[in-house]
């Protein structure tokens, strides 16, 4: 199962060489190199397909699912909701003027003025609140559908998260997300990395674990087990509960920082959301 080198990789990413904090670009190169060596037959871009990039039998089943994907209805619903007028006559389109050419690839990003990480879903609700509309639920429903529509428009765009190294607050947010990813928690004492760095391609109960590389690229995701389109932060919360750990609220600072690190680690991978998963 090769847990020894995996554990060394985890330590190097969290602590850096010799206990010195590693630069984000060094983390990224170590991360890419690890997966290229672990799965040498998988093309780099294909990691966008998650577990289906490394498991042939499940890929065939997934490709059949993608012929008539359930999320098509969510894309259509998301398009209507995106253009639905607010009470003041404006719409979400006024907050995302470049949406037709794709905006999903611009998130998450560091906002210097706010001093925080801004994610796609958080930006959608911030827009609604700025126009005196109520925010939408983050896990599923209309917001997930709007996110699916915007993800669809950005298919093929390359993940390219920037970590402004001249802003110590951005570096701190990145390090916070990295620390979260590698910290063990809950009664099972697992971290995100325990499964998705330490055991991709292996079974955890009946679930086949996907690699962390490219994992964010296909969200939001229609999950057959949930029967609906769902957001990345719902998956974060579900994983926490599986570890018997308390989950943070969707779009909390903790999860936004986690998404910042998590997405940066997939730089160079094309967006291909929304996706279908079991």
From 95, 127, 192, 239, the catalytic residue: 239
In this predicted structure, which of 120-129, 150-159, 185-194 has the lowest mean pLDDT?
A: 185-194
- Evaluate whether 271 touches 154 at the Cβ level (below 8 Å): yes
State pLDDT tens for residues 28-76: 999 999 999 999 999 999 999 988 999 888 888 888 888 899 999 999 9
Q: How far apart are CA 9 and CA 6, in angstroms?
A: 5
pTM of the predicted protein model: 0.91
Active site residue 239: yes
Mean pLDDT of 136-152: 97
Interior angle at CA 98, CA 97 and CA 103, nearest 5: 120
Torsion sign (Cα): 143, 135, 263, 16: negative
Q: Where are the alpha helices (DSSP H) in 68-141?
A: 71-83, 120-130
Structural domains of the chain, with CATH: 1-278 (1.10.760.10)
């Amino acid at each position: 199962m090769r847990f020894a080198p995996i554990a060394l990789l985890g330590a190097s990413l969290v602590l850096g060489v010799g206990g010195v904090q590693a630069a984000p670009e060094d983390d990224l190169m170590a991360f890419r190199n690890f997966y290229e060596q672990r799965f040498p037959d998988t093309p780099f871009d294909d990691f966008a397909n998650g577990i289906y990039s490394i498991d042939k039998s499940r890929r065939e089943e997934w490709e059949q699912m993608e012929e008539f994907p359930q999320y098509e209805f969510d894309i259509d619903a998301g398009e209507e909701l995106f253009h639905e007028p607010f009470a003041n006559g404006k719409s979400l389109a006024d907050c995302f003027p470049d949406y037709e050419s794709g905006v999903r690839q611009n998130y998450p990003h560091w906002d210097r003025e706010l001093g925080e990480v801004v994610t796609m879903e958080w930006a959608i609700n911030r827009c609604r609140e700025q126009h005196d509309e109520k925010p939408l639920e983050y896990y599923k429903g209309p917001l997930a559908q709007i996110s699916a529509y915007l993800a669809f428009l950005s298919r093929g765009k390359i993940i390219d998260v920037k970590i402004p190294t001249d802003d110590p607050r951005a570096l701190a947010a990145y390090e916070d997300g990295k620390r979260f990813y590698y910290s063990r928690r809950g009664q099972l004492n697992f971290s995100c990395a325990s499964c998705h760095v330490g055991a991709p391609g292996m079974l955890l109960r009946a679930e086949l674990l996907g690699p962390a590389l490219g994992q964010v690229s296909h969200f939001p995701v229609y999950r057959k087990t949930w029967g609906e389109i769902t957001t990345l932060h719902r998956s974060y919360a579900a994983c926490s509960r599986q570890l018997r750990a308390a989950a943070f609220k969707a779009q909390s600072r903790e999860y936004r920082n986690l998404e910042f690190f998590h997405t940066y680690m997939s730089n160079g991978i094309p967006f291909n959301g929304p996706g279908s998963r079991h």
